Structure 1
Amino acid sequence: MSYTAAPHHRSVAQALARARRLVVRVQAGALLVLMLLLVVVASPARGEVTERSATTFATAPDTPLPQRLSETGLLYGADGVPGRVVGADTLPFSPQYPLWSDGASKRRWIRLPPGTFIDASDPDAWRFPVGTRLWKEFAHAGRPIETRFIERLADGRWRFATYVWNLQGTDALLAPERGVRALPAPGAPGGLYAVPSRADCRACHEGGPSPVLGFGALQLSPERDPQVPHAETPPPGHTDLADLQARGLLRLLPATVAQTTPRIAAASAVARSALGYLHANCGHCHNHTGPLAAMDMALLQSVADAAGSARRTWASVYGKTSRFRSDRGDRGDDAEAQRIAPGRVDDSTLLQRMASPHVMSRMPPMGVSVVDVAGLQLIRQWILDHELSSPLKEHTP
């Protein structure tokens, strides 16, 4: 027996069919909107979108500092036992102009959140995504003493901490906020090591255009200065400027910089190394953008304007009268002292302060207790160099 649906039954069936088609269209439309949103979020403009997407991996501002170094993400081990193993997503690096730290050996690492990159549109002040983490290990006599840690939080601020290693070398504990002024450390000068306070960290890292020091276009240039004091051999698998660009971890670098190899503009090999030494050891405080800008002492070198920055350095130190009062005590007229006195080493207060044994007059003012003899000799030779008056003369090795 055949059955023919009643008219009202057919109307209900047709209404249900229309409803199903409407649901499908709505779902498809919602999917399209979602895909468009994903495209917008994934299309970074000068690093802004990258930072928003990175907040998933960034630490909330009110999160307490990890109590152990192994909890910061640098170290891990089997079965939860901390060990000195660095994750594959953590890149080692080595600046070509290292900071003098009483002869300590160092290792450094950086890690960016997945899917993010560094905005290098300002080649002298890279912008790092939130969630960026960096570590720097200090060691004496082959034994790690401390590892410093900086992290960009979800709100864009940076925080600093340092961790003191245990005797077994398996992990490190968070140091007090005030630091540790006399930590027993075999191999360190006098057998003691000073762990900086967090205020000390901020004093150095917040004095220039970027709180990340030693990780920029000049420091990571593939063309490394062969004569720099305390030159380091880059570790296996290290990253540099070219590698970061190849990995897509550094973008928006201006073509004028990307098409060249960053290098200090100098008259000679000695001048190049001297400017690099001052850049790394002094420039993070003595520059034209930080709290000490009024001193008009520009020791930070630029890759966007290498020649101009070299000239600015000369203008700010060469033949410039210094207000520093010599602690030698044998000068009759300290008002005539100069930051760099051409050919007159004894009148160069820059050299005097580097060589000073007194805490109140020594430069750098923190992080060192022993005079850097190699650095001192380099600056001395630079001052005695007869070609100082032509800082941009082309040098042929």
Structure 2
Amino acid sequence: MAGGKWQRMGKVAAALAGAAAAALWVAPGGAQAAGAAPERLSGTGLFTDAAHGVVAPGVLRYTPQYPLWSDGAAKARWIRLPAGKAIDASDPDAWRFPPGTRLWKEFSFGGRRVETRYMVLGRDGAWTYATYRWLPDGSDAERAPERGLRGVAEVAPGVRHDLPAAGDCRACHEGGPTPVLGFSALQLSPDRDPLAPHAEPPAPGDVDLPALARTGRLRGLPADLLARPPRIAAPSPRARAALGYLHANCASCHDARGALASLGLDLAQRVRGGDARAPLATAVGQPSRARPPGMGDAPLRIAAGDPGASVLVRRMGSRDPLLQMPPFGTKLADAQALDLVAAFVRDDLGPATTHPAAPVHQEKNR
């Protein structure tokens, strides 16, 4: 990719982080992430045998029902809580984790482990992030530079996967009410969405919401969430899946409780005190600040009934670094999710009233 385009990508990432103002989550007392992660993944406590994937005692595997799109990567995820400590789940939409909590996410392409991302909560309340690149022989993984690494694995012809910079991790994880993404009451609900794009069935032994409560790893969880597990109460199965996808892939930034609240776009689904359709009020019929080429001077975030006139759909389908959403982290548009969200806009939100029909626009992946 030409140097100019990389510079433009950097500006996009910087703009996102800058708009977040405190794209570093600040702990009480003003502390920020400090300290260095181990040089090798084997030093983080995930495995007793990294080469064969033998997980250490006390490490719990989990599978969120709405996974983040990562260019088709196969993923495995784990968490380890300090002995005798529990998650404060009294706010089911923003769990608070005890110091010493560790999480890992492993990315594989073509059956080969490529990277593992790691985050650990320090005693000062600040998170440290690191990315590890797997060695060619699969025996261990080495910590990548803070600036990240480009082009470490092919994900499609002519398209290669990048390891994120530490700033990329912070921009995604620290823009909302909790830095831990994908491990929540909704994501771990046993009432799983069968239409969720790229849904992965939980592996034997994976923990879910009831298992965490049963083993004393949650405190303060409202009891009714065990009697009636969290579920997006959408008017149709397709709407449920579309709203869940937007929650997982967009709401880490676009959350009314987050650093980008001033943008007025809230795509987060809430277990407590929220109508599943409430986020649509911030998108349907609302003017977009972005002006994608060919969409006129006053495009809408979502034009009901018309995905081709909806900026949200257009940006999902683009991988122009100045237009794409999410702004970084993927090189390939998610075709399955694009079809789902376009159908949701066209068929579930009713006929267009202010825009003529237009085809869904998916740009060539770059």
> Residue 64 in 1 paired to residue 32 in 2?
no
Q: Among 280, 285, 288, which residue is 1:314 paired with?
A: 280
Structure 1 partner of 2:162: 194
Q: What SS does the corresponding residue of 2:244 show, helix, strand or coil?
A: helix
How far did 1:173 drift? 0.2
Report percent identity of matched pairs.
Answer: 52
SS in 1 for 2:47: coil
Residue 318 (structure 2) pairs with residue 323 (structure 1): no
Q: Please state how far the C-alpha of 1:254 moved relative to its aligned partner.
A: 1.7
Q: Is the 8 A contact 1:264 1:306 kept in 2?
A: no
Please name the residue that 1:376 is paired with: 338
Residue 322 of structure 1 and its aligned partner are, at CA, apart by 1.1
The TM-score with structure 2 as length reference comes to 0.84
Residue 381 of structure 1 aligns to a residue in which SS? Answer: helix
TM-score (norm 1): 0.77
Gaps of 5+ in 2: 1-32, 352-366
How many residues matched?
A: 319
Classify the secondary structure of the residue corresponding to 2:170.
Answer: helix
Rounded to whole Å, the distance in 1 between the matches of 2:331 and 2:337 is: 14
Q: Which moved more, 1:256-265 or 1:140-149?
A: 256-265
Q: Is the 8 A contact 1:257 1:304 kept in 2?
A: no
Question: CA 1:124–1:62 in structure 2 vs 1: closer, same or farther (change >3 Å)?
Answer: closer
Q: What residue in structure 1 maps to residue 347 of structure 2?
A: 385
Matched with 2:314 is 352
Aligned to 1:91: 60
Select 1:143's aligned residue among 91, 109, 112: 112
Q: State the AA in 1 paired with 2:229.
A: T
Contact 1:208 1:284 survives alignment (8 Å): yes
- Structure with more contact order per residue of length (Cα contacts < 8 Å, sep ≥ 6): 2
**Which residue identity does 1:155 align to in structure 2?**
D
Report the CA distance shift for 1:259/1:357 in structure 2 as closer, same or farther (over 3 A): same
Deviations along 1:224-247, one digit per CA (max 9) or x if unpaired, are 000111110212210000100011
AA of the residue aligned to 1:300: A
Q: Is residue 2:176 matched to residue 1:208?
A: yes
RMSD (Å) for aligned C-alpha atoms: 1.7
* Over 3 Å off, 4+ runs: 186-189, 386-389
Question: Can you list the C-alpha shifts for 1:268-304, whole angstroms capped at 9, x where unaligned?
Answer: 0010000000000000100112221011111010011
Q: Does 1:113 align with 2:82?
A: yes
Instruction: Supply the AA of the counterpart residue of 2:338.
Output: L
Q: Which has the larger radius of gyration?
A: 1
TM-superposed deviation, 1:85: 1.2
1:166 aligns with 2:135: yes
Matches for 1:203-282 after TM superposition, within 5 Å = 203-282=171-250
What amino acid is aligned across from residue 168 of structure 1 in structure 2? D
CA contact (8 A) 2:159 2:331 kept: no
Report which of the two has the higher share of helix: 1
SS at match of 1:204: helix
Matched, 1:334 2:297: yes
What residue identity is the alignment partner of 2:74? S
* Contact 2:186/2:230 (<8 A) preserved: yes
Displacement of 1:311 after TM fit? 3.6
Give a deviation string over 1:198-232, Cα, whole Å, max 9, x none. 00000000011110000000000001000111110
Q: Give the partner amino acid of 1:259.
A: A
